[in-house]
Amino acid sequence: MDPENTAESIEFPAIDLPDEVARAEAQRRHGTLIKPARSLGRLEELGAWLAACQGQSPPRPVTHPRVVVFAGDHGIATKGVSAYPTEVTAQLVTAVGNGDAAINALAATAGAGVRVLDLAVDAEQPDPAVAEFKIRRGSGSIDTEDALTEAEVQAALRAGITIADTEVDAGADLLIPADLGIGNSTPSAVLIAALTGAEPVAVIGRGSGIDDTTWMRKAAAVRDALRRARAVYAEPVALLRTAGSADLAAMAGFLAQAAVRRTPVLLDGLAVGAAALLAEELAPGARSWWEAAHRSTEPAHAMVLDHLDLEPIVDLGIGLGEGAGAVTALPLLAMSARLLTEVATHADSGVAGPLGG
């Protein structure tokens, strides 16, 4: 037997739904507060979702949200599909570690901790402080070769599970997976096309800001990768091996494990969206533990939201990755929880209810 195929396959347990009794209780409570019924719109739904995830209404405030940045390089980036050179990935890992990136400023404002991990950065000298879960140096160039071996997919999924477990065990009460890696919008687009049935041309966006010539190369790369992956569209592990990457596989494991651990997740943009499609295949029902924080400017992201039947909370024209879009929704989540604990009821405040109520 091929030793690469002997790795024990990951099987996720059946995913429980969040607590629908707590959700209904939060919705009922909203109807008793001193405001017209349903007048706080999506904030009411978010508070009820948090209550359902926590299994209690009113929900506790989210006090330990954590952003985990999954960094990795992609062989396909050497084929000229990005606006930036591949060295930028390692430089950005350092920048995030130093607190200098966009995600650091946004997360600090929202009160979220940030952890960056090198899953597959292609650096001569990786930073050992972030390389505990490193699978390999760069994933394969998916237009002509597999991204990973079978054993590497399993190792990456397992890494994602361990990372989620470590965060939850350390007290994280909301998780935000995030991506970093030059070229990652190409495998993300391929996975999204494979799993949603979207036309290849419809999933190819401008990524890091590519020009028309680069877009044409990216289109060719996506087409070639989809052709290589066609036979395994319905097999999530084989799809990650053929057309994914170590960072995306780890993110998928992380997203599925967050659901296993009954921990709410805010989804970010394109790459997280691709990983989320895989996680829902690997652990059906995991999506009920996630909210789509934002709608990215990348066209394929809308297909992810459609496919998972998730409605984005905000739409700020963000097309970055890094978890940037996801953390912008954190203050809204905080508001949604606080409404359920701090707003008075008609009965307690003496404010009259509706006529005929």
- Catalytic residue numbers? 322
Residue 210: CB minimum distance to ligand RBZ, A: 6
Structure tokens at 26: 């939060």
What, of ligand NIO, ligand RBZ, none, does residue 296 touch, CB below 5 to 8 Å by kind?
ligand NIO
DSSP assignments along 39-78, one per residue: TTHHHHHHHHHHHHHHT-SSPPP---EEEEEEEE-BGGGG
Give me the least distance between CB of 82 and ligand NIO, in Å please: 9
**Distance separating the N- and C-terminal Cα atoms of the chain:** 71
Q: Is 208 in the site for ligand RBZ (CB under 6 A)?
A: yes
The pair of three-digit structure tokens given for residue 188, joined into one six-digit string: 């993300």
With beta carbons less than 8 A apart as the criterion, state whether 103 and 93 touch: no
Residue found under tokens 């009411």 = 44
Determine contact, residues 207/296, Cβ cutoff 8 Å: no
Select from ligand RBZ, ligand NIO, none the partner in contact with residue 247, using the beta carbon and a kind-dependent cut-off of 5 to 8 Å. Answer: none
By the rule CB under 6 A, 184 interacts with ligand RBZ: yes
Token pair for 185:
């919008």
Q: Which lies closer to ligand NIO via its Cβ, residue 44 or residue 122?
A: 122
Closer of 147 and 182 to ligand RBZ (Cβ): 182
CB of 80 within 8 A of CB of 86?
Answer: no
Q: Could you tell me the two tokens for 156?
A: 């990456």
The binding site for ligand NIO (CB under 6 A) comprises: 185, 207-208, 269-271, 296, 298, 301, 319-321
Nearer Cβ to ligand NIO, position 190 or 260? 190
Q: Which of 26, 36, 27, 31 is nearest to 354 (CA)?
A: 36
CA distance 216 to 220: 6
Report the alpha-carbon distance of residue 318 to residue 295 in Å, rounded: 8
Closest C-alpha to 269, from 220, 193, 327, 225: 327
Q: Rule CB under 6 A: say whether 249 interacts with ligand RBZ.
A: no
Q: Which listed option, ligand RBZ, ligand NIO, none, makes contact with residue 92 (CB within 5 to 8 Å by class)?
A: ligand RBZ
Stretch that binds ligand RBZ, among 176-184, 255-263, 283-291, 338-346 (CB under 6 A): 176-184
Interaction of residue 179 with ligand RBZ, rule CB under 6 A: yes
Q: Which CB, 15 or 292, lies closer to ligand NIO?
A: 292
**84 lies in the binding site for ligand RBZ (CB under 6 A):** yes
Residue 74 vs 287, nearer CB to ligand NIO:
74
Q: Count Cβ atoms below 10 Å from residue 16 Cβ, excluding itself.
A: 12
Q: Which of residues 298-317 bind ligand RBZ (CB under 6 A)?
A: none
Note the residues at the interface with ligand RBZ (CB under 6 A): 82-84, 88, 92, 179-186, 207-208, 210, 320-322
